[in-house]
Amino acid sequence: MRPSAEPSSPGQKARYQRILRAAAKHGAANGLERVQMHDVAKEAGVAIATLYRYFPSKTHLFAALLAQQVGRLEETAVLPEAGGDPVEAVADLLINASQQLLR
């Protein structure tokens, strides 16, 4: 299997993001097993060849989606207050992370 292409131009980056949004939508609605690459491409408004250029398989597609979501968690994580209860801080972090992933 060939390596995934990396988007470089603004247009390519926009297509890449549309594909990830479409995959998230179809994954949430149908579950990973039922997601069809053709449906993701159609929803994203790209040719199936474009989808496979960036994501050689459904596993690659959803791994990229998960990586993006984890990156967002890092951006939105709220650091606990100094001297606060560490157990509460971990619980709050996990609750926030779960809510972010569900969105």
Per the structure, how many domains does the chain have?
A: 1
Whole-number Å distance between alpha carbons of 61 and 20? 7
Q: Does residue 1 fall inside a structural domain?
A: no
CATH classification at residue 88: 1.10.357.10
Q: Does residue 51 fall inside a structural domain?
A: yes
Which of 61, 37, 59 is closest to 47 using CA atoms?
37
Which of 49, 46, 19 is closest to 35 using CA atoms?
19
Total length of the chain: 103
**Which residues span the domain enclosing 54?**
10-102
pLDDT at 47: 96
pLDDT at 1: 66
Q: What is the pLDDT along the chain (103 residues), one digit of tens a residue?
A: 667 788 888 999 999 999 999 999 999 898 889 999 999 999 999 999 999 999 999 999 999 998 888 887 777 766 767 777 888 877 877 787 777 766 6
Q: Does residue 83 fall inside a structural domain?
A: yes
Q: Does residue 37 fall inside a structural domain?
A: yes
pTM over 0.95: no
